[in-house]
Structures are given as structure tokens and as C-alpha cells.
Amino acid sequence: MSEGPILSVEALHKYFPVRNVWKRRVGWLRAVDGVSFDVRRGEILGVVGESGCGKSTLGKTLMGIQAATSGRVVFEGHDIAGLKPHQSRKYREHLQYCYQDPGASLDPRWTIRASLHEPLVVHTTLPAAEREARVREILAAVGLPETHLDLYPHEISGGQQRRVGLARILTLKPSVVILDEPTSGLDVSVQATILNLFLDLQRAFGLTYLFISHDLSVVRLVCDRVAVMYLGRIVEIGETEQIFSAPRHPYTQSLLAAIPRIGGARVTDSFALEGEPPSPTNLPSGCRFRTRCPRASTICASEDPALTGDVAQHQAACHFPD
Amino acid sequence: MTSELIAVRGLRISFASDAGIARVLDGVDLTINRGEIMGLIGESGCGKTTLARAILGILPRNASRIDGGDIRFEGRALLDLDEATLAAEIRGRRIAYIPQDPFTAFNPVFTIGTQIADLMRFKSPLLREGGLSARERRRADHARVIDLLRQVQLPDPEGVLRKYPHEVSGGQRQRLMIAMALLPEPRLVIADEPTTALDVTVQAQILKLLKTLARDRGVAVLFTTHDLGTAYEICDRITVMYAGQEAEEAPVASFFDRPSHPYTRKLLDSLPSSENGIRGIPGEIPRLVDPPPGCRFHPRCDRASEVCRSSRPPSTPVAEAHTVRCHHPLGDVT
């Protein structure tokens, strides 16, 4: 496609102050530390990493739930990172955020109809009849009968609540939806239904997804491209197939090696990676992964590797990539 | 001498809920041999945690009722023992527990050392032997604690004992939990989804550790999980549960090679993979207040017939040590 990226992130930083008991700042927690990437129109970009790597902070900073410390977020041609909430509201209407369980964000005292009308009341000036038509259309798209409009959240099942939550996100016709751990905590049989719903909706509404997840097997199936994060940085980014078949960064390699594979060699017989990620308040010098990396040498302690690659589609931040 | 360590037979447990009496376990059989790692697999709400808790005798007494069946552990009927005997001789001694969430299992206001010392005061295996003064026993116990903390690969064991729970990471807390479960030298460890709260790289480390330690000591493990991949990693045998009934029991190789219960097959098919794509199981898990009669899976099963609606299938062998509870098991010409 010749079109530019729909969402472009440049050198985004989000630092949280670390304070002692007297509220004096004693350091910074660098949750997102210089992240740059583009999201193409219509693609599903996976963001994977372990807990504490900054993937959720990244999503929330893009969304404006948290203000960025520095950097640019260009969404449909507008830099929205530095804007005040009321200034960016009209752009953010088309950028939506989906929490782990979108059903849990429904007001228990509102009917489904009231919940679905709310975003339209806040963001648009549509008359009630047009709003109602839009709500019905979306409800049908997520596979719920119209009779559900008059029910309260407790009267429908958890899976249906999830669908209503999704419908609520879609009423404003977003172009990019950030999905934050959409399948964690679900049983495999239910997970499949939810994933298929995401894919159907993507086709039906021409959506672009930023798919934040720690579940690599799901990411492999769903995403077009994958970014792997470690301690606030993207350490590797590329086409899903390339990342999974030929990972270049040692962290990505260990992450993939840790997934249990039924029928294959047991991970517990061969898994070599030791230790746990260091605290993001006290990062190692140079490459952040060097404390756990089997290939680390002196240069890794002194120089922070940049995200580079021979092919533009597959980049890794490592001094000794494969 | 039999190698059977614990045998659960026809266990039926119900819970009082707002909607009525939920029959959470409905005639469950389960056998674990000495030194064996048994995986208990099922989706949320299938009763695997209830079964684990029933074995430990820690079901909520005001809301649950045991309707029938028995649990024999080393020849003793656990359900007939009184609370004092259970607490003194079984729970935390012969049967230990590793919780799912290492974050809430510690008391935040005491150091880890204090909490382990408390455990040893009541559950130390040296208490049984006698002949030692309290002081000698404490000293011996301390040496054992340090030794075990080293075996669970905690760096600086002495230092860890002086720390508070919030000062160590999730993976380290789970290592401590494993150490604490093994300190009283139990014969059976019940691990309830012990790696669900952990990241994949840490999960691989913890699974490896649990497997090695259990093997070395000949400790049997009841490992509940909803993740088939994890079960494949660590288990010798696997039991699948569905809606409060066990559906299939098999050695791990046979389980993944030739699953016989339609539910097991569908569960395996719903794992995301490039061959299967994304496939779920149609229908929903039945409500346990009014479960379907007969085989509880029949409303979602495409092989179901009249007999499935009326009677629960008996446990039938399909291969060596591989049994299934299905009227029309896969691989059967019907």
C-alpha cells in the first residue's frame, strides 16, 4: 500500500516518578523508554512481552490515558501526544482502547441501550433516532439480538457482556483499536470465539488493531506483524512469520523456546534462560537484556544496541543478532 | 504392596448458591500412584480446584456438603478423620499445597524467615522423631531450610529469609512456596495452577524445578491446570474433568496421541495452532445447579445418542492404563 502509516510513534517515552515515603522523587521508572514504530492501515500489530515490560503502558500512553513524558504519536496526520485532553478528543474518537474484559466496564445500573448510546451522546450531535439506528447496527454486528437492548448487564452472560463492551467501543466507528490482553484469563474453548469475533469485526469495519498480549501462540495466529518488548524497549519487530521462524534477538529466542509445545521436545528438559527481568527502576547499563543473555560480552555493557536490520521489515536491537 | 498413594472414589460434593444447590463434583474417581505427577485438566468451573480442596479438607464448611464417596490416602479414609487429626497428621505434613497466587499466600507484615520458622514449628519432620531438644531441632531445621532454598535456586538464601514478601519477585515467591511445600517431607503435593500468574520464561523455570524436585524425592504431585501445554511438560498421567465429572484418564503420551473422549479431542483442537486455526467448542459449560442428566457433555457433543442423555457412561479401558467415560469413544466404530 502506498498510503502512509495510520499511527506513527516516534521516540515515545513514559517515565513514572519513584518516590520515597516523604514523597521526594528518588528515581524514575522507565516504563516506555524510546519506542518508535509505525502501524499500517488495516494490519494487526502484536505487542508481546512479559509483565512489566511496558506493553500496557505503551497502549495507555498512545490512548492518552497517561500523558507521554516525551515523543510523538502521529495519528491520522495529527500529533496527539502533546495535546490537552479536550484538544485531542476529536482525534481520539477514532482511536479506541479495549480493556482486558470490556464487559466489566458496563454500568450495572444502566440498560445495554443506555450504555451503547453514551459514547454517541458524548462525542456526536446525532439525534436520538439516528443514534438508535447506529446502536442496532453495531449490536447485530457483534452477534447479539435486539431484545438485549432493554436488559441490564447482570441479566446476560459474561461472554455477552464482553460483546456489549466491544459494541460500545465500535459505536464511534474507530479506525484503530488497542486491544489490551483481550484473551488472558479465558479458557481455550472460549478464547477461540472471542478471537474469531475480533477478526470478523476487523473485516466488517476495516479496523486496525494493536494487539497487546503475552500469549505468543495467539499472537502468531492473529497478527500480521509483531513487536517484542523488553523493559520498555522494542527489542525486535518484524513480520509474524519471520519473528516466529527466524527470531534474531536472543530474548525473542528464549521467549519462543519457553512456550510448551505438545508433541515436541519438553521445554523443561532444555530451557536455559536464567533469572528474571531486572527492575525497570534500576536498569542495567548498555543492553538491558545483557544480565540474562547467553551471548553478552563487554560491548553489551557499554553500548545500548539500536534497532537495526538488513531488511527494513525485520529489525532487532542486539550487538550479536542471528 | 500397591503403589497407590491416594484413591478418590465416587466423590460427590455440592455447594449452596443463590441459584440453588450446585452439584460441583458428581461421582469423581481419581487415583494417584506414589511418586507420580498427575495432571488434572479442565476449564474454569469444572471442579478441579474443589477436588484439590476436598483432598486437603479445606472446603468451606458452611457452604459445601459432601454427599458421598470416599478419599483413601495411604490406606486411611480422609473424610472420616476429625479436624484435629487432619491438621496434626495430614494437612501440611503428608499432603502439602502450592497455591496459584504466590502474591497473596504470604503475610505481608512478617519476614519470610519468620513465616518459614512458623511452618517448621508445627510441621517439621523432626518433630515426629523426637529425641532432640527444642534448640537442637531449630538449629537442624534452619540448616534444612537453607539447604532447600538453595535447591530451589534462590540466590542468597540467608538474605531472602530476612526479607519481606514484597521485596522478592513473583518467580522467587513461587520458588519459596515450592520450598515451603516440600519442607515437611510430604508424600503428595497439590499444586493448584502454580504457574498461571507467571510469565512464560519464569513458568518454564518453575516447571523444571518442580519436576526435578518431585522426582528426586519421590513425591507425588496433583497438578491442576487449564493449560494443556503445561500439562504436557510436567505430567506422567492426565485426568480430564468436565463439569464435575472426570472424562478421561491416560498416560501423557497416550493422552495426546489418541484422545478418546470427544471433549478431550475438542479441547486439543481448540489450542491455537497453524493447522487448527482458531476453533472453539460450540455451546457453553452447563450450569451446575441443573446439570444435564447422563453424560454432562452430551448437549455439546456431536456423537451423543439417546443413551448419553439417560446414563453416565462407565469407565472403560481403551488402551493400557487409559480409560474413558464415554458411550461412543473416538476410534470406536459406532
- CB neighbour list of residue A241: distance below 8 Å, 6 or more residues apart: none
DSSP-derived 3-state class of residue B269: helix
Q: Model pTM?
A: 0.85
**Arithmetic mean of pLDDT, B34-62:** 90
The reply to whether residue A258 touches residue B169, judged by beta carbons under 8 angstroms, is: no
The tens digit of pLDDT for each residue in A55-90 reads 889 999 998 888 889 999 999 888 888 787 788 778
- Predicted confidence band at B1 (pLDDT cuts at 50, 70, 90)? very low
Q: State the architecture of A5-94+174-316 in CATH terms.
A: 3-Layer(aba) Sandwich (3.40)
Rounded to 5, what percent of chain B is helix, strand, coil? 35, 25, 40
CA distance to partner chain A, nearest, from residue B93 (Å): 28
Q: Where are the beta strands (DSSP E) in A182-262?
A: 208-213, 225-230, 233-239
d(CA A162, CA A184): 13
Structure confidence at residue B2 (pLDDT): 56
Where does residue A187 rank: exposed (0-12), middle (13-18), buried (19+ CB within 10 A)?
buried
Residues from chain A that touch B211, judged by Cβ atoms under 8 A, are: 268
ipTM score above 0.95: no
pLDDT at B333: 47
Residue type, A256: L
Residues of B with CB under 8 A from a CB of A: 43-44, 169, 171-172, 199-205, 207-208, 211, 226-230, 232-234, 256, 266-268, 270-274, 277-281, 284
Task: Let me know if A253 is exposed, middle or buried by CB neighbors in 10 A (0-12, 13-18, 19+).
Answer: middle
Chain A nearest CA to B281, separation (Å): 5
With an 8 Å Cβ cutoff, are A268 and B233 in contact?
Answer: yes
Interval B185-241: pLDDT, tens: 999 999 998 887 788 888 888 899 999 999 999 999 999 998 888 999 999 999 999
Q: Which helix (H) or strand (E) holds A70?
A: strand A70-75
Instruction: Say whether A188 and B267 touch across the interface (CB within 8 A).
Output: yes
CB contact under 8 A, B226 and A196: no
pLDDT per residue over A184-230, tens digit each? 777 777 788 888 889 999 998 899 999 999 888 889 999 999 999 99
- What pLDDT sits at residue B33? 94
Query: Residue B171: its chain A contacts at CB < 8 A?
Result: 276
In B59-121, which ranges are E strands?
64-73, 76-77, 95-98
Q: Are A30 and A71 in contact (CB under 8 A)?
A: no
CB contact under 8 A, B274 and A220: yes
Asked whether residue B266 carries a pLDDT value surpassing 50, the answer given is yes
Q: What average pLDDT does the segment A296-306 reach?
A: 89
Strand partners, A19: A25
A238-276 pLDDT, tens digit each = 999 999 999 999 999 998 988 888 877 787 777 778 777
At residue A55's C-alpha, the angle toward residues A54 and A61, to 5°, is 85
Asked if B43 and A187 come within 8 Å (Cβ–Cβ), the reply is yes
Domain definitions of chain A by residue range = 5-94+174-316
Residues of B in contact with A220 (CB under 8 A): 272, 274
Q: Which residue has the cell 519464569?
A: B202
Enumerate the residues of chain B whose CB falls inside 8 A of the CB of residue A188. 43, 226, 228, 267, 270-272, 280
Closest Cβ–Cβ partner in A159, A257, A262 for B229 = A262
Tell me the CA end-to-end span of chain A in Å, nearest whole number.
30
Interface A:B, Cβ pairs < 8 A: 107
Spatial distance between the Cα atoms of A179 and A190, rounded to a whole number of angstroms: 17
CA distance B89 to B163: 30
A158-166 average pLDDT score: 86
The residue type found at A141 is A
Nearest CA in chain A to B46: A187
CB B182 within 8 A of CB B93: no
Cβ contact B206:B173 at 8 Å: no
- Residue in A221, A258, A261 nearest the CB of B278: A221
Cβ distance of A255 and B200 shorter than 8 Å: yes
User: Which of helix, strand or coil describes residue A270?
Assistant: helix
Query: Using one digit for the tens of pLDDT, what is the confidence trace for A113-142?
Result: 999 999 999 888 899 999 999 999 999 888
Distance (Å, whole) CA B228 – CA A225: 26
By Cβ distance, the residue of B44, B200, B277 closest to A259 is B200
Strand partners, A96: A177
Which residues, at least 6 apart from A75, have a Cβ–Cβ distance to it below 8 Å? A6, A7, A8, A91, A92, A94, A95, A176
pLDDT of residue A1: 44
- pLDDT average, residue stretch B262-274: 87
Q: Which residues of A touch B (CB under 8 A)?
A: 50-51, 157, 159, 187-193, 195-196, 199, 214, 216-218, 220-222, 254-255, 257-263, 266-269, 271, 273-274, 276
Q: How near does any CA of chain B get to the CA of A187, in Å?
A: 6
State which residue of chain A sits closest to B265, comparing Cα positions.
Answer: A189
Q: Partners of B40 in the beta sheet?
A: B224, B239
Residues above pLDDT 70, as percent of chain A: 98
| A2, pLDDT greater than 70 | no
**What are the respective helix, strand and coil percentages of chain A, to the nearest 5?**
35, 25, 40
Give the closest-approach CA distance of B195 to chain A in angstroms. 12
Q: Is the pLDDT of residue B12 over 90?
A: yes
* Contact between B106 and B165 (Cβ < 8 Å): yes
Residue with cell 557499554: A302
Contact A91, A59 (CB under 8 A): no
The pLDDT of residue B133 is 85
**Predicted pLDDT of residue B332:** 58
Can you tell me the distance from the alpha carbon of A225 to that of A215, in angstroms, rounded to the nearest whole number?
15
Alpha-carbon span A119 to A116, nearest angstrom: 7
As a whole number, mean pLDDT of residues B85-114 equals 90
Asked if A189's CB is within 8 angstroms of B200's CB, the reply is: no
Q: CB–CB of B43 and A255 under 8 A?
A: no
End-to-end CA distance of chain B: 40
A12: its cell numbers = 515515545
Which pLDDT does position B124 carry in this prediction? 86
Q: What is the pLDDT of residues A165-180, one digit of tens each?
A: 889 988 888 999 999 9
Average pLDDT, chain B: 89
Q: How many CB atoms lie within 10 A of CB B113?
A: 18
**Is the Cβ pair A266, B232 closer than 8 Å?**
yes
User: Percentage of chain B surpassing pLDDT 70?
Assistant: 99
Cβ-based burial of B124 (10 A; exposed 0-12, middle 13-18, buried ≥19) = buried
Check CB contact under 8 Å for B228 and A262: yes
Q: Distance between CA A27 and CA A44 in Å, rounded? A: 35
What is the pLDDT averaged over residues B163-188?
91
Where on the phi/psi map is residue B131: left (φ > 0), alpha (ψ -120 to 50), or beta?
Answer: left
Nearest to A258 among B200, B280, B281 (CB): B200
DSSP string, B228-252: HHHHHHH-SEEEEEETTEEEEEEEH
Q: Which of B199, B226, B266 sits opposite A214 (nearest CB)?
A: B199
Averaged pLDDT for residues B65-88: 91
Nearest to A266 among B227, B233, B272 (CB): B233
Three cell numbers, residue A118? 453514551
Nearest-CB residue to A187 (from B44, B230, B256): B44
- Other Cβ atoms less than 10 A from the Cβ of B170: the count is 18
What letter does residue A284 receive in the DSSP assignment? P
